[in-house]
Amino acid sequence: MTAVGNGAQTAGRPTRLPRSARRKQLLAAAQEVFVAQGYHAAAMDDIAERAGVSKPVLYQHFPGKMELYLALLDTHCDAIVAKVHDAMRGTNDNKERVSASVRAYFDFVDHESEAFRLVFESDLRNDPAVRQRVERVEQGCIAAITDTIISDTGVSRAHAELLASGLVGAAETAAQFWLAGGRQVPKAEAEALVAALSWRGIASFPLQGESA
């Protein structure tokens, strides 16, 4: 295997990197191995080899395979939630907010397809620690959209959460289907289709101060 990034071995010894850079390099190597082999088949030996480091170096950063896997999930889960928050804060135009939230999912699966599979197609979904992180993504995205719906429409939190969960579910499922289907529909067209479907429902709720 070829070593990942700038951590290749020199004269039989791994290049010394700052701790943050080494951690990033190890996570990148681990992601490639986990996506290719699945969690259960992946071995710390494989990850160390892919990163071009010794196992002791790998264990200095991550005490075990599960801790490494969860660290990867945390990184990607935070990134998805941040994208949806940015979509809500980036404009006051609610139609564009819906489009941006859908785009956040499609951008993630398009540019980070390995990460998307790691989070949403994990062979560890039934593990409590993994399930908690996947649920945190969904709840974090729902919360970001819920607050916007409440502030704009004045509906109750329970109603807003239900609407937000529908939007998140549609975006996530459609993006996953698009990726699994080999991106047969052009990305921009796929985003527009899902956004239009979602907007036609959200737009039926008037802004505060407007009559229904």
For the chain, give every domain's residue range: 9-63, 72-202
Read off the pLDDT of residues 162-209 as tens digits, 9 standing for 90 and up. Answer: 989 998 999 989 998 998 899 999 999 999 999 998 887 776 665 555
The confidence score (pLDDT) of residue 137 equals 86
Question: What pTM does this model have?
Answer: 0.73
The confidence score (pLDDT) of residue 95 equals 85
Intervals of the chain under pLDDT 70: 1-15, 203-212
Q: Under CATH, to which class is 9-63 assigned?
A: mainly alpha
d(CA 149, CA 206): 10
The confidence score (pLDDT) of residue 211 equals 46
For residue 179, CA distances in Å to 113, 134, 186, 206 come to: 8, 18, 11, 34
d(CA 150, CA 160): 6
CA angle 161/165/167 to nearest 5° reads 120
The confidence score (pLDDT) of residue 53 equals 93
The confidence score (pLDDT) of residue 58 equals 94
The confidence score (pLDDT) of residue 199 equals 83
Q: Identify the CATH assignment for 72-202 out of 1.10.357.10, 2.40.160.20, 3.40.50.2300, 3.40.50.300.
A: 1.10.357.10
Q: Is 43 helix (H, G, I), strand (E, B) or coil?
A: coil
The confidence score (pLDDT) of residue 102 equals 92
